[in-house]
Chains A and B, each alone.
Chain A
Amino acid sequence: MSTNAESVELVGDDVVGNVARAALFAALTGAFAYVSFPNPVSPVPVSLQVLGVFLAGIFLGPVWGGASIVLYLVAGAAGAPIFAGGSAGLGSFVGYTAGFLWSYPLAAALVGAVVHGVGDLRDPADAGLTRLVGGMVLGTVVIYALGTVGYAIVENGLAGAFAPDALARAFVVSALAFVPFEAVKMAAAVGIVRSDAATAE
């Protein structure tokens, strides 16, 4: 039997709170993947994952919001059934919709950076509508850009992926049917921030 004599290095109080929030928002984003609404123009239903990404950025800020979504991806890779439709595993990171997954942490960090600016976090309810919506629009652009490129790479390989017609086709097949719903999610996110639903601090 061996003993370990190193001293215990406690996690600071602030960090404990942030780790707990990051983990809970990652779990919430995973649960959102199961909340789906029928999509009238595509057989694939609309789920709320992206709303989870927006909210993580808005409520946790650029650093911990991004970290929260990284946790979401790592937990999914380790086998938690939290990706679209309850799938999981490393395989999801190389499939046709993998680009969307890779974009989520960037998008969350970007939304957080636009809403909070640099420096200390502020109450998202105090951020102006322009910042909130602007941040989410930028996040959406990142998500769909990487999603489209990811689809084109899987279909055509790295060399042929950036041809204009390959990208256009990838966008039509993988993204077009979902874009209108992003506006609905943004409206929902603004509604949540403006209501007293969440008390961030």
Chain B
Amino acid sequence: MTLTYRPGDTLAHRLDPRTKLFVQAAFALAVFARTGPRGLAAFTALVAGILLAGRVSPADALRGFAPALPFLVVAPLARTVVLSPAGSALPVGVDPAAAVEPALASYRVLLVLLVSATYLRTTPVRESRAAIERVVPGRLGRFLGVGVGLVFRFFPLLLADLRRVREASNARLGDRRSLPDRMRVVAAAGVRRAFARSDRLALALRARCFAWNPTLPELRFARRDYPAHCLGVALAASAFL
């Protein structure tokens, strides 16, 4: 299950994407600087407010980050294992107290993931792209903006290409071959498709006079963005106090 944009009219939807990127970055900075339980409690309240501003359910948000979750649990558990503990005959012991610090670290990551989920749910791709082109100056920004658009466009096609190759290979008993063989078959087909598609794309871009100065969608800060800017500045400042 993947987190994607859902249209809506919440406060988080109406904020400028640059504002949202800034608050996200400031939040990550602040939460990594304040590591005590008290600071984390305050950040939890803030995250609850942010989720509410985007009408994002925490369960949905966490499901979107399912692959990251095992590490959040394993990290504190791994810490409790002590090799050759003092005063014990066994070579391995368990020290539950050692898990406290990494558990707080895991919780911190969880908070950042929830804020990031709110951004993904409430920001359409074209706004993210416009924000990137405005924040990063010059040709680099244009390259990143255009490139991000193209990745969004071509990723599903290449994924479908790879799926077809795997199904075709499995139908011919390809799944009984060795692991390196299976990887090579799928990846070689992927590379072939990527080159074929990029050649056609380059031709199409040239034919349409691909330029460094395209027309960008309009972005403008509104009055509601200013309190969010203040929040971002406060968060960033709290990291250094």
Contact = CB atoms under 8 A, between A and B. Distances in A.
User: Do A and B make up one complex?
Assistant: yes
A81 B67 contact: no
B128 to A, nearest CB: 4
Contacts of A89: 3, 113, 116-117, 119-120
Per DSSP, chain B at the interface is: helix
B195 A198 contact: yes
Contacts of A27: 150-151, 154-155, 157-158, 194
Contacts of A97: 68, 71
Interface residues of A toward B: which range? 35 or more
B120 A88 contact: yes
B215 interface: yes
B228 interface: no
Per DSSP, chain A at the interface is: helix
B235 interface: no
A26 B151 CA distance: 7
B2 A192 contact: no
A91 B28 CA distance: 8
A79 B28 contact: no
B234 interface: no
Interface residues of B toward A: which range? 35 or more
B57 interface: no
Nearest to B182: A37
Interface string B6-46: 00000000000000010011001000100100000000000
B3 A90 contact: no
Contacts of B24: 90
Interface string A151-188: 10011110000000000010011100000000011011
8 contacts: A8-B209, A8-B213, A19-B143, A19-B202, A21-B198, A87-B68, A90-B21, A96-B109
Which 7 pairs between the two chains have the least Cβ-Cβ distance? A85-B67, A91-B116, A23-B150, A89-B116, A75-B151, A197-B188, A78-B128
Interface of A: 4, 6, 8-11, 13, 16-17, 19-28, 30-32, 34-35, 37, 43-44, 48, 51, 55, 59, 67, 70-72, 74-75, 78-92, 94-97, 151, 154-157, 169, 172-174, 184-185, 187-189, 191-192, 195, 197-200
